[in-house]
Structure 1
C-alpha cells in the first residue's frame, strides 16, 4: 500500500479530487487472530490526507493515526494516544506509522528549526507604528552548505506542539506534560511549486557580504562558508497561500545587511512584506493598510508589479502617483535594532 506521504505530494503537484478506502485483514501482532486495518484516503482541492484505524482481532480495541489537514500547511501535528504506545501494541503502532507517516528523522533540519523557534518567539503587536508581526528565530550561522529541506517527521513534546499549532490547543484531550506526539514537516513543498523544474536553491541577490537564496517558501542567507535560514512561510506564524503548490516567495531584495521579502497569499490578491535583519535574524511584517488604497480608488490588481512593491530613496512604496503608502527603511531598521536589544 502506498504511503500517504506520496499521495499528499501528488496533490500538491496536481489539483485532484479523490477518495479511496482500503481494508486489510492480517495478524499484525502474531497472536494467532487476524486483525483489521481500514484506511481512508481523501484528496480534495484544499484539504486531504488520511486516517487508518486498526482493530485488534482478539480484544476488539481500536487504534488510529491521521494526518488529514490543509494543503496550506507546511507542517502537521499527528496525535498519538498513550494506549497505542504500550509495549503490547507496538506492532499495531508500527503498521499505522508505516501507513500514515513519511520517514523519521531524529532531529529537525535548519528550515524546520526556523519554524519551531519562530513559533515560540513571535508577537503580534497591536500598537506598533510599522509592524503587525515580529519574530526572532534565534538562528545562528552554520559552517556548511545549506541542506535541502525534505519531508519527514520528528517526535516532540505535546506542550511545545500546542504552542506551535494554536488551532489544536483545545482540540485534543488533556495530555500529561511528558507525553509526545509527531510533527510532520512537508519540506518537499519548498520545491513542489507549479513551474518548478529543479530541486535546488535559487540565487536571487548578492552583495559584498551576503548571497541570498530562495525556495518556493523560504529564504536563506550565505556568508562566506556559512548560511542561515531567514524566513519560511508557515500559516501558523506568518500566513500562507491556500495551496503550497503556489509559491509564496515572490520578491526578495537585499538591502545592505537586511532582506526585504514580498510574500504572496494566492488566491488572495493582498500580500505581506517583511524586513529581516540578516545578522540578528529578527524580522517584522509591515502593517499595510490596503483599505487606504481602496478608499483612494486603487485596486491591487490594477497596480503594476512595481507599484505593488518598490524601493525608492530608501523607502518602500506601494501605490501610484500621490496615492502611495510609504515605509521609511531607516526608521524601520532602527525599530528592528530596538527589538534585537530587547532579546
Structure 2
C-alpha cells in the first residue's frame, strides 16, 4: 500500500499532458492516497484546478531540487517516486533527494538510483513509456486512450459558429506551413465553412512566424497572437475547432474537448494522436505511413506542403529537387505524392 506518491512530469507541452493523463488514471483509482506532482511552472495552468493531488510547480531544475529538499527537511517522505516524463541528471538527483521507498523510472539508464523500470520500452506511442512505469506501481491502471482535462474543458465557452483556430507554425521549420500552403488552407477552410471566422493563432516568437503570412488576408481571417500558455488557453476556449501543425497546441485543444484536424509532415501521427481522441482527424502523405523522418535540417517540408495541396487542389510550391538529400520522399515516384492516407487506414 502506497500512502504518499510523488510523480515527476518534466518534458514538452504535449508530452506533459499525456503523462498527466497517466497520472490522472492512477489518482482516480487511489483517492485515499496523498499524491504529489512535479510539473514545469509554465505548464501549471493546464492542471492548476484539477483535484486529487498536490501540485509542485518548478521553474528550473534548481527550484525543483530545492522544493524536494524542503520537503525532505520537513520530514515529508514518499513511499514511491515515479518518473512519468523526464530525462537527464536532474532526474537522478531528484530521486536521491526525495528518498522514496521505491524509485521507478522509464528505463534502466539510472539503475544505480532507480531500482525498478519496465521490462520493455514502448517508443512508438506517446503514452506508452509513462503508462509502463505507472503500471509497476499499479498493474490495474488503465492506459489512456484520449486526452481530457475536466477543468480545462470547463473553460471552453465556444458556441456553434465560433472561430476556427488555424495554427500554421510549430516552432520548428520542418513542421511549418509556408505562405502558399497557408493561403491554400485558408481558402479551403473558407469554402468548407463559408460562415466561419478563421483565427491564425501563433506565438510571434516561434521560428518562421514572420515568414508565413500571405500578402493579404481575406476579410474573414484575423491574426491572434499569444506569448504565454494562459493566453493560448484563453484563445482556444473561444474556438470551435483546431486546424494546424503544432502538436503541442493540438494536445491542449484536445484536452479542452475541441475537435481537431492535424497536419503531419515529418512526425508520426499514430504516436502523437491517442487512439480514441474524440473529434480528431489527421492528414499525412500516404507514402510516409507512420514512419518518422530524421532529417532535422529540413527548412522546406514538402511532405507537409504537399499534404495541404492534396486536399485543397492547389499546386504545391515546394519541389522534390529542393528537399534535403536524406528526404524520404525522394525514394518515391512523384505521382505517389498526390495521395494522403485515407481516414482510418492506419491504426495502432
TM surpasses 0.5: no
Greater relative contact order structure (CA < 8 Å, 6+ sep): 2
- 1 or 2, which has the higher strand percentage? 1
In the superposition, the TM-score normalised over structure 2's length comes to 0.28
Larger helix fraction of residues: 2
Using structure 1 for the length normalisation, give the TM-score. 0.28
